[in-house]
Structure 1
Amino acid sequence: MPFRPRRDSTFLRQRRALRWRAFRIFCWRCAGWLLLALFLVAIHDVFVQWDRYNVREIDISGNRLIGREEVLDVTGLKGRINVFRVNPFLLAKRLRDDPRIKSADVSINWPDRIRIRIVERTPLAIIRMDPPVMIDVEGACFQASQKPSQRSLPEIEGLAPSDFPGPGTPATEAYQETMNALIAWTQENVYLTFENIDRIRVDPDIGLTVIPKQAISGLNVGQIRVGYHFYSEKSAMLEHVIRYMNQIHMNQAIEWIDLTDMKRIVLKPAGADSAEAFRKEK
């Protein structure tokens, strides 16, 4: 038969003592952790309610399209706020969710200052639709700004929401070629730039037509028919045409210049019939 110790044996008493000792150690440890947690909560409450750590200054930089009040609305930094309640990573994420913002960084300068650094998207043009939107070099669209500095951007007419790329839907040729033209006309040493472009009309069949803001090198031009493709080359061709017309002292206003076919440049003086349009073979 197996050996079974008696209930009052020394072995059982020692085992019960060890179990009781382990239980007391566990209880003391739990009590210690509980007291530490209560102490930390109390310290946290003291700092959170301490006026010394209330936000007194919010420094925002890099915002041109977005006003200061909009930034404060998005981040929720309004009213009496303690810096210990501010989560910089969450605030930066909220700012980056705005389509007008490319990147954002939020930091705390202890004890009472918050710095917000914003990098906005740079709009290239305003697309006329309902409501109007701005577009940047990456094709990101965002709400159009009413600030005077943004009203000088060229306007694009003829694009519809169906032209834009979407999930599982590629962009139309009209949209893609408009983006190619915008990117080409932002390059350096390009004759046709945003400084002399007022509007860009987009037609799926004939391509792009540019409406200049003012006289180009002293020559009044009503329209420049660019078509599709080779935008930098066509800009250079336009420069040669304008220089040639200035050399021959042609001061008559031009109704339109057609650069659609790179092998042939056609222009129509104001008031002339279509049959009288000038052609210059390349």
Structure 2
Amino acid sequence: MARKRKQQSESKPGWRDTLRRARRWTLALVALAVLGYAALDLADYVLRSDLFMIRDVEVEGNCLVSEDEILERLDIPAVVRLWQVDPEALKARLADLPPIKSVEVRRLLPQTLSITIEERAPLAICEDARSGRRFAVDDEGYLIADAEEVAPPPGDSESRDARPAPFPVLAGLSRSGWKAGERIEEERAPEVLRALGLALAREEEWTRDLLEIRASRDARGWVLKRRSMNAEIILGDRHFVERIGRIEPVLRFLSKEQIEVAYVDLRFDEQGILIRPRHLDPVAWVEKVARRSPSREKQGPV
């Protein structure tokens, strides 16, 4: 019987082991409590410290919208810390300004708030038929500002002929009563403007004196006119990127051969480009094109 009690006492943990474990747990809990209190105290210091008070608000990328107007819209309190501003809320305050395409807000430690603006780039001018008000239009069809507020793109001041003309006019739209911030969506205007924007990005020479971008409302579809060329460039109503991409080599060919044309018709994709010369009979024109063509496209008289 005594041997059995001894075995049971050996199999059960003693009170000293239990006390030792309890002491370790108590010390661990006390340490966690101290660390937690210290972390809270540090966080409270950081949140309340003047070290992170906003001293500078940097605004960059703006041109059409003044810095004063941006700061007024943001309405940042005079006394506020970096952690107390909500970047998404600040973006929302600028979102309804027509010239602004996107906004990036960054906190720069310890005391700077950075506002980076991406504005819409003017591509053309649209005149409202009802009010006579003229708007600058970007390559997505948004009316971004009054035309008078937008300066023409910079050019080469050394050569008078190289100076770019003012923005081309977007004409022939069926709707009127436009307001800044709205988007032109009828007659597939955004697609035409986007394709022209690509040509401008490639710095194609013919875009320098583009005069008019017109929705003709007939079978010709969209028509382009240049100041230096008394002829229409007919785009039709589809495939604008591909068709506008063919203009540069065709016009280079016509300029080199000193050929005046009545129009350049790009609507017939598979058949080729149709060109109507002014002072050449059809036979002479076909012979000239056969000798030297600007591309693999087919050109022919109409």
Query: TM-score if structure 1 supplies the norm length?
Result: 0.57
Deviates more, 1:224-233 or 1:150-159: 150-159
C-alpha distance in structure 1 between counterparts of 2:68 and 2:20, whole Å:
62
Q: What is the CA–CA distance in structure 1 between the aligned matches of 2:46 and 2:62, rounded to whole Å?
A: 32
Count of residue pairs brought into register by the alignment: 237
Q: Deviations over 1:67-107 (max 9, x none)?
A: 4356557877443221344577x689879989944674735
- Match for 2:234: what amino acid? V
Q: 1:265 aligns with which of 276, 280, 283?
A: 276
1:227 aligns with 235
> CA shift at 1:55, angstroms?
0.9
The one-letter code matched in structure 2 to 1:264 is I
Higher alpha-carbon deviation: 29-38 or 152-161: 152-161
User: Does residue 106 in structure 1 map to residue 106 in structure 2?
Assistant: yes
- Partner residue in 2 for 1:80: 79
Distance 1:163 1:114, change over 3 A: closer
**Secondary structure of the corresponding residue to residue 259 of structure 1:** strand
Alignment RMSD: 5.0
**Aligned AA (1:232):** E
Aligned letter for 2:247? Y
Q: Assess if the C-alpha contact under 8 Å between 1:55 and 1:112 holds in 2.
A: yes
AA of the residue aligned to 1:156: L
CA contact (8 A) 1:156 1:201 kept: yes
- How do 1:26-65 residues align onto structure 2 when only pairs under 5 Å count? 26-65=25-64
Instruction: Extract unaligned runs of 5+ from structure 2.
Output: 129-134, 154-165, 176-182, 237-242, 267-272, 286-302
Residue aligned with 2:45, SS:
helix
1-side partners of 2:262 and 2:17: how far apart? 101
Match of 1:209 in 2: 223
Q: Give the share of equivalent positions with the same residue, in percent.
A: 15
Identify if the C-alpha distance between structure 1 residues 29 and 142 changes in structure 2 by more than 3 Å, giving closer, same or farther. farther
Counterpart in the other structure of 2:138: 135
Deviations 1:195-243 (A, max 9, x none): 433431124731322355xx53xx8x5x7343342332454367569x6
Kindly report which structure 2 residues correspond to 1:168-207, keeping only aligned pairs within 5 A, or say none: 176-191=191-206, 193=207, 195-203=208-216, 205-207=219-221
Distance 2:76 2:193 in 1: 39
In 2, Cα distance between equivalents of 1:264 and 1:198? 20
d(CA) in 1 for partners of 2:136, 2:16: 78
Q: 1:144 offset after TM fit, Å?
A: 0.9
